Structure 1
Amino acid sequence: MRRFAKALLGIFLLLGLSFPAAAQAVFPNQGSIGLVPPAGMTEIPGVGGFEDRAAKASILIVELPPGAYDTILQTFEPQALQAKGVTVEDRRDIELADGHKAVLLTGYQSVGAIALKKWIMLAEGKGQTAMITVQFPEESAARYSDEAIETALKSLAFRAPPTQEEMLARLPFTISDLGGFRVLRVLGGSAVLLTGAGPDAKGGDVLPYFIVGVARGEIREDERESLAKRALASIPGVKDIRPERGGPLRIAGQPGVEIIAKGTEVQTGKPVKVAQWLSFGRGSYLRMVGVMPEEGFEENFTRLRSLRDAVQMR
């Protein structure tokens, strides 16, 4: 019996050596949605996707808000994509490796004189929604067959989103005290979006938010204020921004620039106030932006400054 057990164990070991383990899904940019990329594609640094630069081929994964699947599916039609230059040749339902369902569109997109092969997949799983886009020029089709691309798409996998602590640990800076804000999203491993909205927030409310990001570069002292003024135009979700006051100041011992401005929230059309701070270090600088309803802003300004002062480079 003992010899039989040893022989059986030997067979299992041989089987284990003979058949390699199944490829594991890769979650680019440490996201919660990943897949097994085709051979030849590697992760794109700081982006949710994969690429083969030589073949000009890419797979991009966009994580969408929970519950967005049904809403997007209503517009996920060939006619809507045709208006964007995408010709859909086939639309079908497919089943992913983990049993979840998805809708796959295949076709091509004309960009000038170049024809790009195109796959667009919308998938839902574990309360998450993902849109995956694959494209490359026709001449790269020999390297990436339809079968290889579809195999990669069917390998799409979902995992639980990272905890707040895990998201913050990925950043090149720390926030010692969130001051009642909470992490909404980590952006590209170098920025974080915080929200101050409570559970009773309504759809028509201005939702307070705070963005912290790091940019690389040595900014000369005489360029700092002009950089801060130009940066105002890129604040997301706010239009008609008009500076009210500001100027140079020290932030956590570092030279910085403060600008307080008025604007209009794009989504609600309501007046908001913006506080932007740039803090300059050696070889990089921090940009911090707080957006709140205009009403009550001055009372909340201390809260924003406390959050600003809680940010430190690692």
Structure 2
Amino acid sequence: MRRYEQKQLNRFPMEGHAMRRLVRAAVLIAALAGSSLAVHAEPVFPNGGSVGMEVPGDMVPIPGAAGFEDRVAKAAILFVEVPHADFDTIVKSFEPDALQNKGVTIENRKQVTLADGGRGLILSGYQSVGAVAIKKWIMLAGGKSQTAVITVQFPEAASERYPDAAVEAALSSVVFRAPPSQEELLARLPFTFQSLEGFKVLRVLGNSAVLMTKGEVAAPQEGQPIFIAGVVPGEVGENERESLAKRAVASVPGVRDLRVERGGPLRIGGQPGIEIVANAVDLQTGKPVKVAQWLRFGRANYIRMVGVLPADDFARDFDSLRALRDGLELR
């Protein structure tokens, strides 16, 4: 599931446009992603999130991801929370033609009322992957102030283990709860910050990475500073670090025309590291931005930190990014 989590990280906005990017990510994840079947009586909230369901059959939570899986049946349920989104807007993003372009054929649409009074739309059909037909359900769920996209998929051979009625019963059991606090989100991470420098958590990814912004969290605005930090397992040899840093900064999402301004080795938290500062252009607005990336290398992992700022605000806010960098410590 690490590739799934990385896709989420790569689709977070570098500046503003958070809602649009989350909806696009949800659409993409939904496209990529004979006996009666027991359903657990109590809802389970995967990865400590705000959306849960009564889990069908032998599915268990996926470690570090928002979802459930049955490895024997090759079945999975994935959750994507889209905070502060309008339910009807999300529905428009999942029109059959749009999904067909991604290889998903929708055969049935069913509106449901959730247990907490929320609205739901269940889309069911299949996706052809080579010669294999994968059964697929996409549930669009809207609560009082939250929206989510839940995807169920498994090969046709698992249909006896997961009949249609049982899958729809599980999807109809979707419920929402209050979102976690900033403190609860930060507690999930394998690292701490000495000071947040006015930044707030937008999202925690797989309990190993965090996306933060300085400014409005409910509806991020264009030009807000962005900071991303995550732990990547694996030791990186000294002679491989520079090339890794260059490849990593070239892959920063949400920007184009990236040109390295300066870079080089430095110590971060008493460990070897590499800094790269680059100029780029925001993909959505076309405005100039500055990108700062730091890699901090340990024995069993390395920490990647990326900050993106409007070019005009770089001198003012760069110290805040460096304070976040220097105050990050593994638990």
TM-score, structure 1 as length reference: 0.88
For 2:117, the equivalent position in structure 1 comes to: 99
2:291 paired residue number? 274
Tell me the number of residue pairs that the alignment of Structure 1 and Structure 2 aligns.
293
- Does the CA contact (< 8 Å) of 1:95 and 1:101 recur in 2? yes
**Counterpart of 2:88 in 1: which secondary structure?**
helix
Distance 1:126 1:55, change over 3 A: same
> What is the rounded CA distance, in whole Å, between the counterparts of 1:191 and 1:97 in structure 2?
32
Deviation at 1:298, TM superposition (A): 2.4
User: Secondary structure at the residue paired with 2:152?
Assistant: strand
2:271 to 231, 237, 254: 254
Change (3 A) 1:110 1:273: same
Aligned to 1:189: 207
Q: Say which SS state the counterpart of residue 215 (structure 1) adopts.
A: strand
134, 142, 148: which one pairs with 1:124?
142
Deviates more, 1:238-247 or 1:191-200: 191-200
Does 2:330 align with 1:307?
no
Partner of 2:304: 287
Output aligned runs, 1:225-236, within 5 Å. 225-236=242-253
Is contact 1:206–1:270 with CA below 8 Å preserved after alignment? Answer: no
**Which residue in 2 is equivalent to 1:15?**
none
Larger radius of gyration: 1
Q: Is the 8 A contact 1:175 1:311 kept in 2?
A: yes
Deviations 1:36-84 (CA, angstroms, capped at 9, x unpaired): 1111111111211111122111111111131232212123332332222
Kindly, what percent of the aligned residue pairs are identical? 62
Shift in Å, 1:202: 8.1
Verify the 8 A CA contact 2:108 2:123 in the aligned structure 1: yes
Distance 1:304 1:110 in 2: 45
User: Given that residues 202 and 217 in structure 2 are in contact (C-alpha distance below 8 angstroms), is that contact kept between their aligned partners in structure 1?
Assistant: no
Aligned to 2:281: 264
Give the SS at the match of 1:267.
coil
> 1:178 aligns to what SS in structure 2?
coil
**Helix, strand or coil at the partner of 1:296:** helix
**TM superposition shift of 1:198:** 4.7
Question: Residues 74-129 of structure 1: CA distance to partner in whole angstroms, max 9, x if unpaired?
Answer: 23332332222222221121122223220111111212211111111101013110
Relative to structure 1, is the Cα distance of residues 274 and 91 closer, same or farther in structure 2, using a 3 angstrom cutoff? same
SS of corresponding position for 2:189: coil
The counterpart of 2:95, out of the listed 60, 73, 77, is 77
Which structure 1 residue ranges, 4+ long, deviate > 6 Å from structure 2? Answer: 199-202
Partner SS for 2:312: coil
Match of 2:131 among 113, 116, 140: 113
Q: Distance in 2 between matches of 1:201 and 1:23?
A: 35
Is 1:38 matched with 2:50?
A: no
The answer to whether the 8 A contact 2:274-2:296 is kept is yes
Alignment partners' CA distance in 2, 1:58 and 1:187: 18
| Whole-angstrom distance in 2 between the partners of 1:32 and 1:98 | 13
> Which of 31, 50, 55 does residue 68 from structure 2 map onto?
50
2:35 matched residue in structure 1: none
- Structure 1 Cα separation of the partners of residues 220 and 160 of structure 2: 52
- Quote the offset at 1:222 in angstroms: 1.4
SS class of match (1:300) = helix
Gaps of 5+ in 1: 1-21
* 1:142 and 2:160 correspond: yes
Deviations 1:173-224 (A, max 9, x none): 0011011111111111001111013589985x32210011101111111111
C-alpha contact (below 8 Å) 1:43/1:49 kept by paired residues: yes
- Per the alignment, do residues 116 and 200 of structure 1 end up closer, same or farther by CA in structure 2, a change over 3 Å counting? closer
AA at the equivalent of 1:301: F
Normalised TM-score (structure 2): 0.84
RCO comparison, higher one (Cα < 8 Å, 6+) = 2
Unaligned runs of 5+ in 2: 1-39
Change (3 A) 1:185 1:228: same
Which residue number corresponds to residue 186 of structure 2? 168
Other-structure match for 1:66: 84
What do the CA deviations read for 1:242-265 (whole angstroms, capped 9, x no partner)?
Answer: 111110111121111111111111
Q: Which AA in structure 1 matches 2:287?
A: K
Tell me which residue corresponds to 1:3: none
- Deviation of 1:139 after TM superposition, in Å, equals 1.1
SS in 2 for 1:295: helix
